[in-house]
C-alpha cells in the first residue's frame, strides 16, 4: 500500500469513492443528506490548489481510498488565538478495503502533510452515528472539541 498525492487522472476514481461516501452519509442522516455524485470541478480545484491536496491510498494500481486535506487559519475574531491548521474535509475507504488499515495510513500521511507545512493541529468532523470512523479518529489521537446540535421545528 502506498499513499500519494492525487493527479488529474485520478478524478474518476475519486468520484466513485465520493459516491460511496455520500451514500454512507445519507444512510446516517437521511433527512439531511442524499446520495449524490461528486463535482468534478471541486475535485480538480482541490488537486490543483496549493492549500489543499487529495491523498490517494493505492495498492497494485487500485485506488483503495482518499483523504481531502486543506490548510486553514482560525477566523480573524479578537477572541480567537490565531492558528494555522489542517482540516480533513473528506475521507473515504472503498467498501471492499475497510478494516485493512487504509484509513489509518491515510491519517498518518495527513499528519505528515500537516507537519511538513508547520501546521499546529488537524481538525475534522464526523457525523453522529458513524461509530467506526469515530473509533478510528480517537485511536489516532483525535478528541471532541465542539458539538453541533440541531433542533427540528
pLDDT in tens, 78-98: 999 999 999 999 999 999 999
Q: Is 135 helix (H, G, I), strand (E, B) or coil?
A: helix
In this prediction, residue 112 carries a pLDDT of: 98
Banded pLDDT at 123 (limits 50, 70, 90)? very high
Give the pTM: 0.93
> CA-CA distance, 106 to 37, in Å (whole number)?
22
Q: Are 91 and 67 in contact (CB under 8 A)?
A: yes
Amino acid 7: pLDDT: 97
For 57, phi then psi, to 5°, come to: -95, 125
Among residues 70, 66, 74, the alpha carbon closest in space to that of 51 is found at 70
8 Å CB contact between 4 and 110: no
Domains with residue ranges and CATH for the chain: 2-139 (3.40.630.30)
d(CA 65, CA 46): 16
Amino acid at each position: 500500500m502506498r499513499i500519494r498525492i492525487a493527479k488529474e487522472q485520478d478524478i474518476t476514481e475519486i468520484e466513485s469513492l465520493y459516491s460511496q461516501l455520500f451514500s454512507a452519509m445519507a444512510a446516517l442522516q437521511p433527512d439531511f443528506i442524499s446520495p449524490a455524485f461528486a463535482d468534478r470541478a471541486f475535485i480538480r480545484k482541490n488537486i490543483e490548489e496549493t492549500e489543499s491536496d487529495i491523498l490517494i491510498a493505492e495498492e497494485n494500481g487500485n485506488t483503495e481510498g482518499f483523504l481531502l486535506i486543506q490548510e486553514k487559519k482560525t477566523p480573524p475574531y479578537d477572541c480567537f488565538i490565531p492558528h494555522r491548521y489542517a482540516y480533513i474535509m473528506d475521507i473515504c475507504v472503498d467498501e471492499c478495503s475497510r478494516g485493512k488499515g487504509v484509513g489509518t495510513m491515510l491519517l498518518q500521511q495527513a499528519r505528515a502533510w500537516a507537519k511538513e507545512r508547520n501546521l499546529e493541529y488537524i481538525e475534522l468532523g464526523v457525523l453522529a452515528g458513524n461509530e467506526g470512523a469515530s473509533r478510528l479518529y480517537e485511536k489516532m489521537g483525535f478528541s471532541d472539541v465542539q458539538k453541533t446540535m440541531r433542533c427540528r421545528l
